[in-house]
Amino acid sequence: MAEDTLNTAGLGRHGATRLPSVDVESFNVELKDDEGFLGDRASKGTFRKILDDLRKPLRKNGEDPLGDKSAEQISKSALDEALVGDDIHAAALVHGAIEEFANELAHVTSRFLKTKSWADTERIVVGGGFRQSRVGELAIARTDVLLKADGFQVDLVPIRFDPDDAGLIGCLHLAPSWIFEGYDSILAVDIGGTNIRCGVVETRWKKAPDLSKASVWRSELWRHADDEPTREGAVKRLVKMLKGLISEADAEGLKLAPFIGIACPGVINADGSIAKGAQNLPGNWESSKFNLPASLVEAIPEIGGHDTAVVMHNDGVAQGLSEAPFMQDIDHWGVLTIGTGLGNARFSNRRKESDEKKDKDEKEKKDKERKKD
């Protein structure tokens, strides 16, 4: 583990492949076919386009049961209501879109499963904004059925936490162990192409050392896409949000750790810079002269009288990490996040020394029994 650790602070590197509970086999993989990036075939926008394409013939005759709004303008709750409403034609349209989208998602998922880094994957958790609806849940369930019908021995399940919270909670799994022994909460940041969300995450480590009971105590959302800020303006607003949360946590009496975990789109380098994949963020975040973790340490050098430490990883990785406590019954698992694009990460659980010793003892016992026979 030494090669993935900053000796000065005992912190994991930014974008590390080895984390306290898992090895990150891959993340932010961009698969392509003749039509371009495969992830574009299973995004939130793809579902909306499929739905609008199904409505075109009906619109020509003025018989669209979903009305005049484009699919982009129809809320997730309205689509959910259409599924169970009295208008069977509206329900049929939405079900049709779910079926087509599930076929696309199954195709994309199967391509991931055929890659070397995703070999032997036993379970895939699906997160992102699309999952926050009944429509999304049905699409995930239908995709699971299609994959099994094609012979893939993998389970596709919705992410357990609300996707808005999952990225923040996942940041806990980037933190070193001393955080949990001395503090009861951390600051977490989830950066997306549309929103930036900051929160105070309670570890609840004493109740559950595996972090399975962690929760977001308070969060703040800024829809930066509406304001179209500069990169510097976005960082300034982020710092303001974090300082506000620090004050609130202090007033509440929380023991806030001097640690900030960040989930950010793209391929994250060990020094905290972004190699690629941040094109949807305000300004040029891939510049070699820009380093978000360093900017935050400069703006917030201390938390609670102690030097601030920052660790940043890919947003898909962070969202997936929120599921780590619930994946201990298997060895290899992954996450797909359906939003503006398709985020992805593949994990292997790190074996505890006690488990390895137990397996070794059992093997030695069997070997002795065979020799006796």
Q: What one-character-per-residue DSSP string does 101-148 give?
A: HHHHHHHHHHHHHTSGGGTT--EEEEESGGGSSHHHHHHHHHHHHHHH
The residue type at 194: T
- Amino acid present at 336: L
Q: How far is CA 225 from CA 57, 199, 229, 313, in A?
A: 33, 19, 8, 22
The CB-based long-range contact list for 68-77 (8 Å cut-off, 24+ gap) reads 71/47, 72/45, 72/48, 76/132, 76/133, 76/135, 76/136, 77/133
CA 193 from chain centre, in angstroms, equals 14
Tokens of 102: 């599930």
Q: Indicate the pairing of strand 302-303 with strand 306-307.
A: antiparallel
Report the residue count for the chain: 373
* Contact indicator for 118, 334 with CB cutoff of 8 Å: yes
Domain boundaries, the chain: 2-18+162-322, 34-158
Closest CA to 44 of 2, 1, 101: 101
Inter-residue contact 116 to 84 (CB < 8 Å): no
Contact 312, 264 (CB under 8 A): yes
Is a pLDDT exceeding 70 seen at residue 296?
yes
CATH code for the part of the protein at 34-158? 3.30.420
How confident is the model over 146-158, as pLDDT tens digits? 999 999 999 999 9
At 33 the pLDDT is 79
CB 161 within 8 Å of CB 169: yes
Coil, strand or helix: which one is 209?
A: coil
pLDDT digits (tens, 9 = 90+) for 53-67: 999 999 888 889 999
Would you state the structure tokens that stand for residue 171, as one six-digit string?
A: 């940041």
**CA–CA gap between residue 335 and residue 160 (Å, rounded):** 12
Higher pLDDT, 316 or 372: 316
The span from the CA of 280 to the CA of 46, in Å, is: 17
Q: Is the pLDDT of residue 291 over 90?
A: yes
Task: Tell me the pLDDT of the chain averaged across its residues.
Answer: 90
List, for residues 128-152, the tens digit of each pLDDT value: 988 889 999 999 999 999 999 999 9
Instruction: Please give the pLDDT value at position 2.
Output: 33
CA-to-CA distance for 184 and 259, rounded, in angstroms? 12
Two domains, one topology: 2-18+162-322 and 34-158? yes
CATH 3.30.420.40 fits 2-18+162-322, yes or no: yes
3-class SS of residue 93 = helix
| 185-191/256-264 β-pairing | parallel
pLDDT confidence of 92, banded at 50, 70, 90? very high
User: Which alpha helices (H) appear in the chain, and where do they start and end?
Assistant: 44-60, 76-84, 88-113, 134-149, 163-170, 178-182, 224-227, 231-252, 292-299, 315-321, 353-372
The predicted-structure confidence for 175-214, as pLDDT tens digits, reads as follows 988 889 999 999 999 998 889 999 999 999 999 999 999 9
pLDDT-derived band of residue 340, with 50, 70 and 90 as boundaries? Answer: confident
